[in-house]
Amino acid sequence: MTGTYYKTKESVEEYIRLAKDANGEFLIEKLKQVLPSNSTLLEIGSGPGTDWKILNKSYDITGSDNSTEFLNHLISKNPKGKFLELDAITLKTDKKFDGIYSNKVLHHLNDNELIDTVKRQYEILNSNGIICHSFWKGEGSEVFKGLFVNYHNESTLRKAYLKYFDILSISDYNEFEDNDSLLLIANKK
């Protein structure tokens, strides 16, 4: 899935520096339109915790990451927060949630892994649960800094999610360039 980039203290510190000005505030505002305040929410891939802090203001948030280094960082910065060590594919937890959120995390999965996580997200969501995920828009895949990146378009996302979710919206947005990103919002069938 993600190789070793997020596994070392040095790479995590580098990522935190590089991503210091990035946050998902725009995405979270879209989520707030469909997921009521105080709902239970799982964030997949909390990383440095920037979005977790924003989400924590509105939701009963549980952060997660598959990197021990990121989890150590998250816990040290948010000692009262709830965090789980979770793989984005298997999401091995007994907890159920009203919503699941990720910001540019699931693009590290190949097509089969994406199908596996979609099914698992369906299983750990409460009835009518909401998902909100962002992806890099494009075609194909590449390895960037040792990380697998799988690009998506509306068609590939519909194919991956339609079996388990009713898609509320798939919309383009700009992160670094015009229409370089996609936001998917859907609810559990």
pTM of the model: 0.91
Residue 152: C-alpha distances to residues 140, 145, 174 (Å)? 8, 19, 15
Tokens of 24: 């998902």
Phi, psi angles (nearest 5°) of residue 47: 55, -130
Per-domain boundaries in the chain: 5-188
| pLDDT reported for residue 164 | 98
Tokens of 39: 């709902």
| pLDDT reported for residue 1 | 43
3-state SS, 10-57, equals HHHHHHHHHCCCCCCHHHHHHHHCCCCCCCEEEECCCCCCHHHHHHHC
Map tokens 């609810």 to a residue.
187
**pLDDT tens, the chain, 189 aa long:** 445 556 667 666 666 666 666 679 999 999 999 999 999 999 999 988 999 999 999 999 999 999 888 899 899 999 999 999 999 999 999 999 999 999 999 999 999 999 999 999 999 999 999 999 999 999 999 997 778 999 999 999 999 999 999 999 999 999 889 999 999 999 999
User: What would be the CATH architecture of the domain defined by 5-188?
Assistant: 3-Layer(aba) Sandwich (3.40)
Q: How far apart are CA 119 and CA 27, in angstroms?
A: 23
Cβ(105)–Cβ(48) under 8 Å? no
Name which of 49, 52, 51 is nearest 61 in CA terms: 52
| pLDDT reported for residue 174 | 93
Residue 75: C-alpha distances to residues 1, 40, 46, 49, 79 (Å)? 24, 19, 11, 9, 5
Burial code of 15-39, b = ≥16 C-beta within 10 A, e = fewer?
beeeeeeeebeebbebbeeebeeeb
